[in-house]
Chain A
Amino acid sequence: MSQVIVVTSGKGGVGKTTTTAAIGASLAKIGKSVVVVDFDVGLRNLDLVLGAERRVVFDLINVVQGQANLSQALVKDKRLDTLWLLPASQTRDKDALTEGGVAKIIDELRESFDYVLCDSPAGIERGAVLAMRHADQAIIVTNPEVSSVRDSDRIIGMLDARTIRAEQGGRIDKHLLISRYDPARVTRGEMLTTEDVADILSIPLLGIVPESEDVLRASNIGMPVTMITPIGPAGIAYETAARRLTGEDVRVAVPEERTGLFDRLFGELGFGRRAAA
């Protein structure tokens, strides 16, 4: 049974697109058929993160307006056979999306894919509402800081009110994904702890992705962070999250501060990474 999952946050820059690409690739790696849909019309980025920007011909808006059919607009990933992208338009704005058009596309995608991952634009306006409208599940991406947590809280309220499932009296499954988690800063009290975030948002935790250089490096070479080799800590966290999403019982790992021998020695002398940070 096909699952439509919206990746959302309210706030911008917390890692929605990175998460969509990473989890989409992870699901494809374990053999699921996946389409990632970029709803960020006017500010599309998912094609870049997937390294597919030169193969985009038609986009979501073309399909909504009937200028192309779905199969013409879908872009297949070069590395994973079961991963597809439905790109957003970069030259149009969100007003070009219509409720009926989006409904038709999502229904068609449901027929062909195990997972439809919708990458929501930031904000709480029309674009974000259309992205969440048809979702069965939601991944709420949150950074461990107060403004991101409050915005996520607002989005959770909207998921419980504005989605079709909610309007029909049902509920949608909500998963918390904490990204850009920096254990050293949490230890120093500069970041909210996982417990704080989970307590405020009171939804089940899907995963904790540590702040990592891999994320930027992977984006720049057009790879989801779960596809690069060797896979880093952020990639591993996303892979675990994807497995949990499929219903597998995997424990959520809390990233720990890396304290190698050198860190410990120099840390005590005041030269360590922590002192330099």
Chain B
Amino acid sequence: MTAAAALADPETLINYDRPSAPCQSEAPTPASFRFFGRSVLAFVLAPSPPLSDWLSSLDAWIQRSRGALTGRPVVLDLTRLAPSEAGVQDILTTLRERKLRIISIEGVDRHWIPDDLSPLPISGRAVMSAITGRAPEPVAQAEDRAAEPASLVIDRPVRSGEAISFLDGDVTICGSVSSGAEIVAGGSVHVYGTLRGRVVAGAPDNKEARIFCRKFDAELLGIAGYYQIVEDVAPTLLGKPVAARLSNGAFILSPID
């Protein structure tokens, strides 16, 4: 789950009780408050036709690995089965009889998904195939990731309504970030233009991340789950080059000379 998704998640904890820590800009700033993002590992079951064959192999597997799926969140991928609306209900009932905890369904018309299931998880990464129990090769993957450059450079302005999410590292914008635009980065964010939108750096939990901009007029700043509303920032910083960092849960905004 990205930090942006965490912002919209109604179940996300909001801790209002943090003691107020002063921001080192000229006027004292009220406390930042913290949102928590959370990633959850879910098993994905992808039934294939004919359903009866698939169910009997599932039953055999459950028999062998008793309790392996009990109480674990399961996402149902019905792409291959392509059932009708009534079929979706039948499959759900059948699987629930086997004490499987289905949290969401993929691969069917979203309107067919019962209201008590969560909305579609968007493009979660496949981690392992639950039925065969075969794990991916984590070592190779780690090497791949280390080889990737952990930065994203955008050579144009980021417009209102655009959301850029790059959790692997720093984001550099050669242009302005408009009011109503949003940048979410795993590392630091650099804006070589006017920052008018929302920026979240260090998502989800990198407290060392910073935000830099050539001209400061942001709507919202966030670092590692701490958020700073810009109405509370000293007005003397507006329009100036500004750097923002986090110190003991408080935002420190300072002009860049």
Interface residues of A (CB under 8 A from B): 124, 146, 150-151, 153-154, 156-158, 160, 199-200, 202
Contact = CB atoms under 8 A, between A and B. Distances in A.
A153 B194 contact: no
B161 A154 contact: yes
B154 to A, nearest CB: 12
A202 B160 contact: no
Contacts of A150: 160, 178-180
B159 interface: yes
Interface string B169-207: 000000110111000000000000010100000000000
Which secondary structure dominates where chain A touches chain B? helix
Contacts, number: 34
A146 B179 CA distance: 10
A124 B162 CA distance: 13
B50 to A, nearest CB: 38
9 contacts: A124-B161, A150-B179, A153-B160, A153-B179, A153-B180, A154-B160, A154-B161, A200-B176, A200-B194
Contacts of B73: none
B157 interface: yes
Given A150-B178, A157-B160, A200-B176, 15 more contacts: A146-B179, A150-B160, A153-B160, A153-B179, A153-B180, A154-B159, A154-B180, A157-B161, A158-B161, A160-B156, A160-B159, A200-B179, A200-B196, A202-B157, A202-B176
A157 B178 CA distance: 10
Interface string B90-115: 00000000000000000000000000
A26 B47 CA distance: 64
A124 B160 CA distance: 12
**Residue from B159, B176, B179 whose CB has the most chain A CB atoms within 10 Å:** B159
Nearest to B162: A157
